[in-house]
């Protein structure tokens, strides 16, 4: 595992984060505690130190499982969780959304479930369409002053909301908005038009989720597997429902064959070329082992060009990749 400095912070995080949305069975689909422990320990053994969860994941079970797994080794990890949706089914309107009340209630619950005294990175999970950025920024500041969070981040916020919140925090000299998280994969490249450039310009740490398109890019759904296509009610799943997506998957499978690796490894390796920390969210030890194989995959310039061209959201002739880190990009190089 390699490590990178996270945005403008002093954190050194592993090149892939472990997403724990599958830790627990509260949603009726996930991993039991023993399997979760095996996945967690194997990720740690590989050198991983960046853990991402949320209060809503498995209705709080993900945080509870993590709380037990972190005992005795809490300081070895960057622990990130999210608020907005609540930790129980049909949570009351006063403890959901991004209000200060919901924020405080969520954090207090997360701290208990995680068995810790502070959260390293707290994400607002997504905009609620109501709470102004000023309130979110002030809420983060209050929690930082109380020692309950160290860094603040925004997840799934559009670029203009992200930029506004960062600016407001700077003007108020509040705890900075240090990071952005959003979906990004070969079948969801829209963030390259705005969220990536905004995050680079603002000096944010970037975390991306669903590098496998909810599993579509593994190719397993062509063999009749169901997985996330049904497991989460079809959410966070990108179906193979267009000619371009079929072409993208064909290209991933072709590159995987050329390199003698699995398709998931190609997709994760590609996601890692954009300066972000991709989140992997395995449900089993087998899936984790395969995902971690991406760390040793080296895509050639030709393979990158082919994958970029087939997945482009603009004409391929005008597509432009981010500035390589070695040529002065805003994101630091990975170091051993």
Collect all residues with Cβ–Cβ distance below 8 Å to 10 and sequence separation of at least 6.
Answer: none
- Give Cα separations from 240 to 133, 166, 227, 254 (angstroms): 36, 36, 14, 17
Nearest to 281 by CA among 31, 11, 4: 31
Token duo for residue 111 = 């701290």
For CA atoms 320, 325, 328, 330, give the dihedral sign: positive
Are 125 and 54 in contact by the 8 Å Cβ rule? The answer is yes
Collect all residues with Cβ–Cβ distance below 8 Å to 108 and sequence separation of at least 6.
Answer: none
Collect all residues with Cβ–Cβ distance below 8 Å to 180 and sequence separation of at least 6.
Answer: 153, 154, 155, 157, 162, 195, 198, 199, 204, 205, 206, 207
In the 8-state DSSP scheme, what is residue 85? S
Separation of alpha carbons 308 and 185, rounded Å: 11
Helix ranges (DSSP H) in 203-260: 228-231, 243-259
Catalytic center residues = 57
Token duo for residue 16 = 């892939």
Phi, psi of 267 (to 5 degrees): -65, -40
Separation of alpha carbons 2 and 101, rounded Å: 39
**Rg (alpha carbons) of the chain, rounded to whole number:** 19
Separation of alpha carbons 56 and 53, rounded Å: 9
């Amino acid at each position: 595992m390699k490590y990178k400095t996270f945005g403008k912070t002093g954190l050194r995080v592993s090149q892939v984060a472990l997403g724990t949305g599958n830790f627990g069975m509260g949603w009726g689909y996930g991993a039991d505690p023993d399997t979760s422990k095996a996945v967690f320990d194997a990720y740690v053994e590989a050198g991983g130190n960046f853990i991402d969860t949320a209060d809503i994941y498995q209705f709080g079970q993900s945080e509870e499982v993590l709380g037990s797994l972190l005992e005795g080794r809490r300081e070895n990890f960057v622990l990130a969780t999210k608020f907005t949706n609540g930790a129980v089914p049909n949570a009351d309107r006063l403890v959901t959304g991004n209000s200060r009340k919901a924020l405080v209630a969520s954090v207090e619950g997360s701290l208990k479930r995680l068995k810790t005294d502070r959260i390293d990175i707290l994400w607002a999970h997504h905009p609620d369409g109501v709470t102004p950025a000023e309130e979110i920024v002030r809420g983060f500041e209050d929690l930082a002053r109380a020692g309950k969070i160290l860094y603040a981040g925004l997840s799934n916020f559009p670029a203009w909301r992200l930029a506004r919140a960062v600016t407001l925090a700077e003007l108020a000299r509040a705890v900075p908005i240090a990071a952005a998280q959003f979906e990004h994969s070969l079948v969801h490249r829209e963030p390259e038009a705005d969220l990536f450039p905004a995050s680079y310009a603002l000096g944010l740490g970037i975390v991306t989720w669903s590098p496998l398109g909810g599993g579509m890019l593994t190719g397993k759904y062509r063999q009749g597997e169901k997985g996330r296509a049904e497991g989460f009610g079809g959410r966070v799943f990108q179906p193979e429902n267009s000619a371009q997506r079929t072409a993208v998957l064909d290209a991933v499978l072709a590159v995987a064959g050329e390199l003698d690796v699995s398709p998931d490894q190609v997709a994760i390796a590609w996601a890692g070329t954009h300066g972000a920390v991709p989140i992997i969210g395995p449900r089993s030890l087998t899936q984790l082992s395969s995902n971690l194989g991406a760390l040793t995959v080296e895509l050639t310039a030709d393979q990158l060009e082919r994958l970029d061209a087939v997945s482009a959201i603009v004409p391929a002739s005008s597509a432009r990749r981010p500035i390589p880190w070695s040529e002065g990009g805003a994101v630091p190089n990975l170091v051993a």
